[in-house]
Amino acid sequence: MVTLNDYLILSAILFSIGLIGVLRRKNLLLLFFATEIMLNAVNVAFAAISKFYGDLSGQMFAFFIIAIAASEVAVGLGLLIVWYKKKGTLDLDSLATMKG
Amino acid sequence: MESLVYIALFAPLLGSLIAAAFGTTPKTLFTGIVTSSLLAVSMFASMILLAMAVSGAYIHVELMEWIGAGDLYIPFGFVVDEVSATMMVVVTIVSTMVHIYSIGYMEHDIGFNRFFSYLSAFVFSMLVLVMSDNFAGLFIGWEGVGLCSWLLVGFWYHKKDVTRDVNPSISPSWAANEAFIMNRIADLGMLIGLFLIYWFTGSLQYSEVFAAIGDVDMTIVYWIGIFLFIGAMGKSAQFPLHTWLADAMEGPTPVSALIHAATMVTAGVYLVIRANPIYDVVPDVGYFIACLGAFVAMFAATMALVNRDMKRIIAYSTLSQLGYMFVAAGLGAYWIALFHLATHAFFKALLFLGAGNVMHAMDDELDIKKMGALYRVMKPTAIFMILASVALAGIYPFAGFFSKDKILEVAFNEQTYILWFVLWVTAGLTAFYSFRLIMYVFFGKDRHTEWGAHPHEMPNFVLWAMSPLALLAVIAGWFEGWFHGYATNLLPDYAFSDATHHMVAMLIAVTTAVALGGIIYAIVRYRGNGPKKPTNVNSPVYKLLINQYYIPVIYENVVTKPYAKLSSMAWSIDMKVVDATVDFIANSIYGAGSTARGLQTGNLSKMLRLMAAGVAALLVAAVVYGTLR
C-alpha cells in the first residue's frame, strides 16, 4: 500500500536532488533542470495531499505551477540564448557583474 | 474715518516696498521723493486724525483677526486716541522732515535706495507700535523698530572693526549688533511681562487688561510693572542697558535724528505712559522708575561734558532727556512725560540734523575740537542748532522750557527733593554741554582750515526741511495749556499741591538761573581761543567720564568675554559629546556596511548557497519553535 508518507518522502528526495543541483551545478542550463525538478517535487506533494484530503484545490494548484514553470522556462531559455550569443559561455561564474 | 487710519499706517509701508524694489540698484532720486511724499501723506492723515481725537472722536478699527485659538483672541486692531494720535503726529512730522533731509544728506551714498526703504519701514513699524490696541501688536512694532534700527545702525556695514581707542563704537556692524543684543535682553523682560498680563487678566487688549488689572494680586502687578519696565529700559537705553545708544551713532545722521533721538528710543516712555493704569496700582515701581530716570539724566549728562564726538554728545543728551521723561512718567505725571516726549522729539531731531550738516561740511569729521568758527560759512545751520540747544537747555519761551520745567515741578511736588536736585543740576549741565558744543563748532578759533576742510552749507531744500522742526522747537511749548486739557481726556490728570503753586515762580527762576548759568559759563569759557586753563585730560575724573565710567570695558570683561569662553566650552562639549555620539552611530553603520560588502561577490552559486543555508536555518527555527510551543 502506497501511503501519503511515501509520496511526501518522494517529494522531499526530489526536492533535495533539485536543491543540490542548484547549489552544485555551474552550467546555467543545468541550473534550469534543477529548478524544474524542485518545482515538480512540490507538484507531487500537492497532488498527494490533495488526494489525501479529498480537496481538488491542491491539484489545481499543481496545474498552475506547471503552467508557470513552462512560461518561466520559455523566458529563461530566451535569455540564456541571448547570453550565450553575447558571452560564448553559460558558466555561472561569468555572471559576476554585481560584485560589490 | 477708517480709511484715514489705514492711509496713515500703510503709506510708509508702501513707500518702503517701492524703494525696496530698487534696493540693489544704484541711486535713483525718485525713491527718495516717493517715500518722502508718501510719508507726507501719512503726516497729513495723522494730523486730521489728531484733529478728530481733539474733538473727542475715538477711532478703533480691526483690520483682521490675527490669532484666534481657544480663549486667546488677538486681532490686528488699531486705536487712535489722545496718546496715539499725539505720537503719530510727532513721528510722522519728524520722519517726513528727516526723509526730505536725507535726500540731500545721502546724495552721494551708494545705498541711497536701500536707505529709504529701511527708513520708511522703520516709520511703519513705529506707527504699528503706537497705534496698536493691544500689547501683542505693540510688541510686533517694538521688534520691527528694533530690526530697522539694526539695519540702519549697521548701514555702513563694510567698515572694518577698530579698537576702542580709535573709535569707542568699534564699527557700525559691531554697534548694530550691540544694540540688537541689548534689546533682546530687555525684550525677554517685556515678553515675560506680557505673558504675566495674559495669564492673569486673560487678554492682551489694552482696554480689557486695564479694566481687569484692579482684581489681580498686587505682587503680580508688581512683577508685571517691573518686567514691562525692563523692556522699556532696553528700548529707551536706561542704565544698565544704555551703552548701545551712544554706539548707535555709527549709523547715518538722519537715522540718529529719527530713530535714536526722536522716536524709537521714546517707545519705552510711551509704553509706561500707555500702561499707566498698571503703574498707578503700584506707585513703588513708579518711584523706582523715577529714581532710575533721574540717575540716568545725571549720569548721561556727565559723560556728555567731556566728550569730543559731536554725535555722542547729542546722544548722551538724548539719554539724559529720556531720564527726565521717565521721572515724569514714574511719578504719575503721564501727560507731562508725553509732552516732554513731543517737544524733545522736535528739538533733538533738529539738533541732530544740524550736526549732520556740520559733518557734511567737515568731511565726516566728528571731533568738535577740530572745528570752530563755522558760523561764518554755515549761518542757517548755526542758527538752527542754537535754537535747538536753547530749547534743550530749557530757556523761556522755547519748547524745552515748558516741558522740562514741569518735570522739575513734579519732582518738587512729590517732595522727592533729591530727585528735584539731581534734575536741577542736570539742567545746568545740559545747558553747559550744549553750548560747549555750539561754541566749539560754530565760534571760537578756526581749527579746521589747518587740516584742510572746506566747509560749505547744505542745499537749500535740506535747510527748508529743517525749518518746520525749528519752528516747532520754538513754539511747541506754547501749546502746554491746550495739550494738558487734551491729553488728560485719556491720561490721569496730575494735581499740583497748593504749596507747589506758591513755589512755581521760585522754581522757574532757580531752574532758569542754573540753565542760563550753564550757557554763560560755556560761552565765557570757550570763546576766542578756547579755555585759558584747559581741562586736565589726565585727571581721574576726566578719564572716568571720557571712558563712559569704564562701563563698556566692564561689560566686555565681565559679560562678553566670560560668555565667549562659556560658548567655546559649550562648543567643545558639543563637539566631544553630542557630535561624537552622532558620529559614532554613523560610523558603526558605515563599518557594518563595509564589512557586509564581502557578501556581495556577484557570484550566483555562492549566493544560492547562502540562500539555501538561510532557508535551512529558518526551517530549523520554525521546527524548534513549533516543538517548543
Residue B378 has pLDDT above 90, yes or no: no
Could you read off the pLDDT of B486-518 as tens digits, one per residue?
Answer: 888 888 888 888 888 888 888 889 999 999 999
Q: Which residues contact B289 (CB under 8 A, 6 or more apart)?
A: B229, B272, B279, B326, B327, B329, B330
d(CA B424, CA B227): 29
Looking at residue A67, its pLDDT comes to 94
d(CA B549, CA B540): 11
Mean pLDDT of B347-351: 92
Residue B556 carries which DSSP code?
I
The answer to whether residues B238 and B183 touch, using CB atoms and an 8 Å cutoff, is no
Could you read off the pLDDT of A16-34 as tens digits, one per residue?
Answer: 999 888 888 888 889 889 9
Q: Do B602 and A26 touch (CB under 8 A)?
A: no
Contacts of A99 in chain B (CB under 8 A): 600-603
Contacts of B605 in chain A (CB under 8 A): 23, 26, 92-93
Residue B344 has pLDDT above 60, yes or no: yes
Contacts of B616 in chain A (CB under 8 A): none
The answer to whether residues B99 and B124 touch, using CB atoms and an 8 Å cutoff, is no
Looking at residue A98, its pLDDT comes to 66
Of the candidates A33, A32, A40, A31, the one whose C-alpha atom is nearest the C-alpha of residue A13 is A40
Q: Which residue has the higher pLDDT, B451 or B411?
A: B411
Which residue matches cell numbers 537715522?
B255
d(CA B239, CA B620): 81
The answer to whether residues B58 and B80 touch, using CB atoms and an 8 Å cutoff, is yes
Mean pLDDT of B199-206: 88
Mean pLDDT of B333-356: 92
Helix axes B29-54, B2-21, angle to 10 degrees: 160
Of the candidates B405, B396, B361, B397, the one whose C-alpha atom is nearest the C-alpha of residue B381 is B361
Of the candidates B4, B14, B79, the one whose C-alpha atom is nearest the C-alpha of residue B43 is B4
Of the candidates B164, B333, B327, the one whose C-alpha atom is nearest the C-alpha of residue B247 is B164
The answer to whether residues B394 and B363 touch, using CB atoms and an 8 Å cutoff, is no
Q: Taking the CB of residue B317, how many other CB atoms lie within 10 A of it?
A: 27
Q: Do B604 and A95 touch (CB under 8 A)?
A: yes
Q: Does A93 touch chain B (CB under 8 A)?
A: yes
Q: Do A100 and B608 touch (CB under 8 A)?
A: no
d(CA B499, CA B447): 52
| pTM (predicted TM-score) | 0.80
Residue-level length of chain A: 100
At A99, the pLDDT band (50, 70, 90 cuts) reads low
Q: What's the Cα-to-Cα distance from B185 to each of A84, B189, B190, B233, rounded to whole Å? A: 78, 7, 9, 10
Amino acid identity, residue B371? M
> Å from A98 to nearest chain B CA?
4
Looking at residue B68, its pLDDT comes to 80
Could you read off the pLDDT of B102-116 as tens digits, one per residue?
Answer: 998 888 888 889 999
Mean pLDDT of B572-597: 92
Report the residue of A22, A79, A97 to disrupt the B interface, i.e. the one with the largest count of B CBs within 10 Å: A22
Of the candidates B156, B298, B285, B129, the one whose C-alpha atom is nearest the C-alpha of residue B213 is B285
Identify the closest residue of chain A to B611 by CA–CA distance.
A23
Q: Do A99 and B604 touch (CB under 8 A)?
A: no
Q: Do B602 and A22 touch (CB under 8 A)?
A: no
CATH topology of domain A4-88: Helix Hairpins (1.10.287)
Could you read off the pLDDT of B515-528 as tens digits, one per residue?
Answer: 999 999 998 888 87
Residue B372 has pLDDT above 60, yes or no: yes
Mean pLDDT of A73-95: 87
pLDDT above 70 covers a percentage of chain B that reads 100
Q: Does A87 touch chain B (CB under 8 A)?
A: no
The answer to whether residues B412 and B487 touch, using CB atoms and an 8 Å cutoff, is no
pLDDT above 90 covers a percentage of chain B that reads 46
Average pLDDT value over all residues in chain B = 89
Could you read off the pLDDT of B63-78 as tens digits, one per residue?
Answer: 888 888 777 788 888 9
Q: Which residues contact B326 (CB under 8 A, 6 or more apart)?
A: B236, B238, B268, B269, B272, B289, B290, B292, B293, B296, B337
Render B77-134 in DSSP notation, one character per residue: EEEE-HHHHHHHHHHHHHHHHHHHHHHHHTTT-TTHHHHHHHHHHHHHHHHHHHHBSB
Looking at residue A100, its pLDDT comes to 56
d(CA B79, CA B134): 9
Looking at residue B291, its pLDDT comes to 93
Could you read off the pLDDT of B594-622 as tens digits, one per residue?
Answer: 988 877 777 777 788 888 899 899 999 99
Contacts of B604 in chain A (CB under 8 A): 92, 95
Angle CA B423–B444–B541, to nearest 5? 45
> Å from B600 to nearest chain A CA?
5
Q: Do B601 and A100 touch (CB under 8 A)?
A: yes
Render B537-572 in DSSP notation, one character per residue: TTSHHHHHHHTGGGHHHHIIIIIIHHHHHHHHHHHH
At B416, the pLDDT band (50, 70, 90 cuts) reads confident
Residue B454 has pLDDT above 70, yes or no: yes
Q: Do B601 and A93 touch (CB under 8 A)?
A: no
Looking at residue B428, its pLDDT comes to 92
